[in-house]
Structure 1
Amino acid sequence: MKDTFKIQLTLAFLIFSMSLLAGGGWPQPKGKSFIKLSQWWSVGDKHYTDTGELDDNVTLGIFNSSIYAEHGFTDRLTGIIYFPFFSRSYNNNLVSMTNGEILVPGDAINSIGDTDIMLKYGLTKKGSKIAVAGTILFGLPFGNDEGGIFKNLQTGDGEFNQMIQFDAGTGIRLGGKFDMYTNAYVGYNNRTKGFSDEVRFGAEVGIGFNNYKWLFITRLNVLKSTKNGDLPSQINSTSIFANNTEYTSLGFELNYSITDNVGVSAGYATATSGRIIIASPSYSVGIFIKL
């Protein structure tokens, strides 16, 4: 039962994602900050198995209300935090298709979620054509990894992880009122408590209009497991926190700056392939402030 259900300045201000691209290759300038309040959710009734096939499961969902913040300590060093201050994980009743009887009751948990603290350092000088930065991340296991009646609901994975990531990005003037930036990253995530380590890489392209008043972003994110852990893989896991999870994800985000300092965003992402992870799209909305 448990295994079945477990489931340069302008650019630095505007590039944000849950995938930890966090400002790309551009650290925040000294004394400047970016803060974003977001709601993210995913609900689905299918998952990818360990062979990458789709399989059915009881409808389940996870919701995260979070705050994300960047602050420039110097022109090269930026502090970053991602804090899901409210996280909810649930699954619906499992109902018999023959007589409508409830076979397994639904369940839900509420808690804070796993939190990430990061330091980003600019490896190239301010104004360089290609901006390169390195980031170190510490993942703090504040979430619940064994919640609910069957201990199968999660708002975290229960392990302390450390990741190092490198970003390289550049901005391009397209002409007229249009601008573009591109960013690529690669990272290695060291997981503990028997979890396999992970290799992460991806890229994003942003098209801005009217000095980035409107910004449309396309993202590609890939996660690969090194399969060096000693925990068993949940073959039919529906979690986003399982061991040996893999996926390729394509996402889109639209940002609109209401004023020079305040804006809103909406995003969508979906896995085009995966292993040992829920197979449902995710959605996000948010409001951001530049200080």
Structure 2
Amino acid sequence: MKNGIIILVFFISHSSFSQSPWVKDKGEFYTQLTYTTIPNYTDMFGDPDYSLFGEISDNTVQIYGEYGLSDKTTLILNVPLKVISIDGYESPFIDCSGDCSEDFNKTALGNIELGVKHNFYKKDWILSGQFSVEANTSSYDGFSGIRTGYDAYSFTPLFLAGRSLGKTYFQSFIGANIRTNDYSSNFRVGGELGHKITKRIWLIGFVDVVKSLRNGDLILPTQNMFTGLYVNDQEYGGFGLKTIGEITDNFGVNVGFGGAFFGNNVAKQVALNFGVYHKF
């Protein structure tokens, strides 16, 4: 079995909701708090794959919300807080005969996202469009090389389609991430299939592909390249499973993980996602 299939990579977050074609009813409010962890990794996908100069743990606490502006239009807000640490970092620029390793930690905002989703067709199939903007609200520490988000504004148009068949549903999306500041833009496509296996538990399988268009010539600081955090031309092809447990009609939890068919400039490590949600 290929190494890229058995090693997991992070690509699960708020995407199952922000890439859904279903919109909220007017005045309906949905909130979700998630925690995503990519612990203790030293290896990255690349061509060829490469190792880092320390052990990185990348954690995200994220607040996601949707509000029904009308029966056809939903507003979207996502606020990520990044908690990133590097243990045992050894600079390749320092010639040291003893233990010259250092530890670094940084907690700061990632890229805050604001978007709008509009439903165009609602019969057997649900067809919607979405447009969101990620603000350049992240930060960078030049000494450690820790970056908490893309140093750019990102514009993401998506076409969304889905269908519900009782206890089973299907949804898919296609679109792009268009970034400023000489980052490359990305082509995106994916989908998921979910089935209600008990009265209150959903089991969901999904695929998600992000492919860089390699149209940017961004030159990042060398220290940032050593960490691999939010560098240019990040891409992956992934698959995964997640479950949703409906504790009540308005409150529930979700857990997920994913695996990679291929990747570039993304971590080779298990990523787990835990979340709680509430509907108002």
- TM-score with structure 1 setting the length: 0.83
**Retained in 2: the 8 A contact 1:91–1:107?**
yes
* Separation of aligned partners in 2, 1:103 and 1:23: 45
Query: SS where residue 277 of structure 1 aligns?
Result: coil
- TM-score with structure 2 setting the length: 0.86
* Separation of aligned partners in 1, 2:249 and 2:19: 18
Can you give the 5+ residue segments of structure 1 that lack an aligned partner in the other structure? 1-15, 174-178
Q: CA RMSD in A?
A: 2.3
**Retained in 2: the 8 A contact 1:34–1:289?**
yes
Q: Does 2:51 match 1:56?
A: yes
Please list, as runs of the form range in 1=range in 2, the aligned pairs for 1:103-118 lying within 5 A after superposition: 103-118=100-115
* Separation of aligned partners in 2, 1:254 and 1:23: 17
Please list, as runs of the form range in 1=range in 2, the aligned pairs for 1:190-201 lying within 5 A after superposition: 190-201=178-189
Q: Does 2:213 match 1:226?
A: yes
* Separation of aligned partners in 2, 1:209 and 1:32: 26
User: Which amino acid is 1:208 matched to?
Assistant: K
Identify the residue that residue 239 of structure 1 maps to in structure 2: 228
* Separation of aligned partners in 2, 1:21 and 1:31: 17
Identify the residue that residue 263 of structure 1 maps to in structure 2: 252
Residue in structure 2 matching 1:39, options 11, 35, 38: 35
Residue in structure 1 matching 2:136, options 116, 131, 141: 141
Please list, as runs of the form range in 1=range in 2, the aligned pairs for 1:1-291 lying within 5 A after superposition: 17-19=13-15, 22=18, 24-43=20-39, 44-49=41-46, 51=47, 53-57=48-52, 58-84=54-80, 86-94=81-89, 101-125=98-122, 128-144=123-139, 146-147=140-141, 149-150=143-144, 152-173=145-166, 179-210=167-198, 213-232=200-219, 238-291=227-280
Q: Aligned residue pairs: how many?
A: 261
* Separation of aligned partners in 2, 1:26 and 1:48: 34
Change (3 A) 1:75 1:109: same
**Retained in 2: the 8 A contact 1:66–1:82?**
yes
Aligned identity (percent) is 23
Can you give the 5+ residue segments of structure 2 that lack an aligned partner in the other structure? 1-11
Larger relative contact order (Cα-Cα within 8 Å, sequence gap ≥ 6): 2
